[in-house]
A = this chain, B = another copy of it.
Amino acid sequence: MLDVRRLRLLRDLAHLGTIAAVAEAHTYTASAVSQQLAALQREAGVRLLERAGRRVALTPTGAALVRHTEVVLAALEAAEATLAAGRDGLSGGVRIGAFPSAVRTLLPAALVALSREHPALDLTVTELDPVAVPAALRQRRLDVALTHDYDIVPAEPDPALDSTPLLNETVFLAVPAAHDPPGRQDERTDPVAGARDADWIVGTPGTLCHAVAMHACQAAGYQPVVRHRADDFTALLALVAAGQGVGLVPELALSHPLPPVTLLPLALRRRTSVAYRRGAADHPAVAACVAALRTAAASITADRPPTDPPTATDPPNASG
């Protein structure tokens, strides 16, 4: 019978790439991980790892073993979910991760509803970028995470994770209000293409916001001139209003006293969803979080009827 603890190390190695990183994630020493993986390999009777430079890579058999491990771990997660359901009330800690704009918009209402209906729940919110969500969930540093992806930067399906969709928003190109749409104004089909010569305000490298801005420009056939870096959309809007450049803003991030900017709707859409470990969907605490977030998302979309579906000819909240 294979040892699940060792399989978990192998699974994490597949994602983290080095034994040292696996050790850090498990608060072990690298030596311990190396020994355990060696034991797993010995027990398996097949080569699972091989050195690749100064790191180790999985053999095809090792990768296949990881795929099976995902199933095992999902089943164990589901087992723990039923245990949690067997316990009397909804209690214990739930670590929620969310991207910054969700912490401001979606999350507060959901948190209020959750702590009202389940006062025994210990909710802990951590702000983190969507790119960090999968690893955080897998390494059990989070239980539930708000995340999103874009058409042009789709999240690759992760066998270890599951999710339910929450929102599907329009993304706008924010440009200074005083000006007309920058660049060639006849390019109405794609405002991003028209912003070829504009200065850009994007997120810091490594975040999803940064990646999507880069991809959008790349799809329009150019490399953007990055003038400013701002991860906070309110800050970004303020910079745009100050004439410092243009940037991408999702609908949810539009602050209510909107600075004087013009919002050009793009074909690009942002899909927000709640993610959790596969098998945890039946965990009562996770289910409660998902339900609360769904109602919060529903009330948000109800508050802003004209924005969904987007009316390209009449951008909402656009002020002159």
A155 at interface, CB cutoff 8 A = no
Chain A, range 1-47, C-beta contacts under 8 Å to B: 1-2, 4-5, 7-8, 44-46
State A87–B8 Cα separation when bound (angstroms). Answer: 21
Given A4-B1, A75-B75, decide whether A65 and B83 contact each other with a Cβ distance below 8 A: yes
A69 at interface, CB cutoff 8 A = yes
Please, which residues of chain B bring their CB within 8 A of the CB of A101?
none
Partner of A7, one of B5, B64, B79: B79
Given A45-B87, A75-B75, decide whether A8 and B1 contact each other with a Cβ distance below 8 A: yes
Q: Which residues of A contact B (CB under 8 A)?
A: 1-2, 4-5, 7-8, 44-46, 59-61, 64-65, 68-69, 71-72, 75-76, 78-80, 82-83, 86-87
Contact between chains at B82 and A64 (CB < 8 Å): yes
- Of A1, A2, A86, most B-chain CB atoms within 10 Å: A86
Contact between chains at B68 and A75 (CB < 8 Å): yes
Contact between chains at B45 and A83 (CB < 8 Å): yes
Name A's interface SS. helix
Query: Can you show 18 pairs from A to B with CB atoms below 8 A apart?
Result: A1-B8, A2-B76, A2-B79, A2-B83, A44-B83, A44-B86, A45-B83, A46-B83, A59-B86, A60-B86, A61-B83, A61-B86, A64-B86, A69-B79, A71-B78, A72-B72, A72-B75, A72-B76
Given A1-B8, A4-B4, A76-B2, decide whether A68 and B46 contact each other with a Cβ distance below 8 A: no
How far does the Cβ of A49 sit from chain B's closest Cβ, in whole Å? 13
State A79–B48 Cα separation when bound (angstroms). Answer: 13
The 7 closest A-B pairs by CB, nearest first: A61-B86, A68-B79, A46-B86, A71-B75, A72-B75, A64-B82, A44-B83
- Of A4, A8, A44, most B-chain CB atoms within 10 Å: A4
Residue on B with the closest CB to A64? B82
Contact between chains at A46 and B8 (CB < 8 Å): no
State A5–B76 Cα separation when bound (angstroms). Answer: 12
Q: Add 11 more A-B contacts to A46-B87, A65-B79, A68-B76 (CB < 8 A).
A: A1-B76, A2-B80, A4-B76, A44-B86, A61-B83, A61-B86, A65-B82, A65-B83, A68-B82, A71-B75, A72-B75
Please, which residues of chain B bring their CB within 8 A of the CB of A7?
79
State A24–B44 Cα separation when bound (angstroms). Answer: 27
